[in-house]
């Protein structure tokens, strides 16, 4: 874990083996933040839900638990839920990570 220089916001990375383990863990929510056109070309990350980068913070804060589960077929994460953010090269997921950490999501 490395400090990103933005107060108490941390950059959290995981390697491929850790991702494989996260895919097996039902308590982890994997969010693919790529655009729909990218998912159409390369396919979805198994076990993930798709929320484009610009919509993640809004979806986490504005949807009710029932609406989130109806839309994504996964429970609305709490601030203590382990979240994994995925994109093509890591920049977008790092940006979203920063945004949601400021909302209180720390894992």
Annotated active-site positions, please? 87
Cα distances (angstroms) measured from residue 52 to each of 2, 5, 24, 63: 25, 25, 23, 15
Task: Give the number of other CB atoms < 10 A from CB of residue 102.
Answer: 13
- Burial (0-12, 13-18, 19+ Cβ within 10 Å), 83: buried
């Amino acid at each position: 874990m490395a400090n990103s220089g933005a107060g108490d916001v941390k950059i959290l990375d995981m390697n491929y083996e850790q991702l494989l383990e996260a895919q097996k863990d039902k308590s982890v929510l994997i969010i693919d933040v790529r655009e729909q056109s990218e998912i159409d070309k390369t396919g979805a990350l198994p076990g993930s839900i798709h929320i484009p980068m610009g919509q993640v913070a809004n979806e986490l804060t504005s949807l009710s638990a029932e609406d989130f589960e109806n839309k994504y077929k996964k429970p609305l994460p709490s601030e203590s839920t382990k979240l994994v953010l995925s994109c093509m090269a890591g920049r977008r997921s790092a940006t979203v990570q920063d945004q949601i950490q400021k909302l209180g999501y720390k894992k």
